[in-house]
């Protein structure tokens, strides 16, 4: 099974679990209930990982911007007659 098809199936199962509430999932047989719940957990984990990466990138960008401004100010002091 290729990666794209696997991701599509995981997303589909996660959507089923997300759309259904607990009573709806109880209507599934135990075997059919086995796939949607872990897929929902996997999808939530991927979402959190993406959010964490975004937060980290923003923090690094802010830090770099601050350091760049400090360098510019230091160079202005040096080049002033």
pLDDT digits (tens, 9 = 90+) for 5-50: 777 777 777 777 777 666 777 777 777 777 777 888 888 888 899 9
User: What does the DSSP assignment read for 16-30?
Assistant: HHHHS-HHHHHTS-H
What's this model's pTM, rounded to 2 decimal places?
0.56
Q: Using an 8 Å Cβ cutoff, are 28 and 37 in contact? A: no
CA dihedral 38, 39, 43, 46 (to 10 degrees): 70
Residue 40, CA distances (Å) to 17, 19, 54, 63, 73 in order: 6, 10, 21, 35, 50
């Amino acid at each position: 099974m290729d990666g794209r098809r696997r991701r599509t199936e995981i997303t589909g199962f996660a959507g089923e679990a997300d759309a259904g509430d607990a009573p709806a999932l109880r209507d599934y047989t135990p075997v059919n209930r086995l796939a949607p719940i872990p897929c929902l957990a996997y999808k939530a984990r991927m979402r959190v990982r993406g959010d964490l990466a975004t937060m980290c990138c923003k923090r690094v960008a802010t830090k770099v911007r601050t350091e760049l401004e400090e360098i510019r100010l230091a160079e202005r002091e040096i080049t002033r007659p």
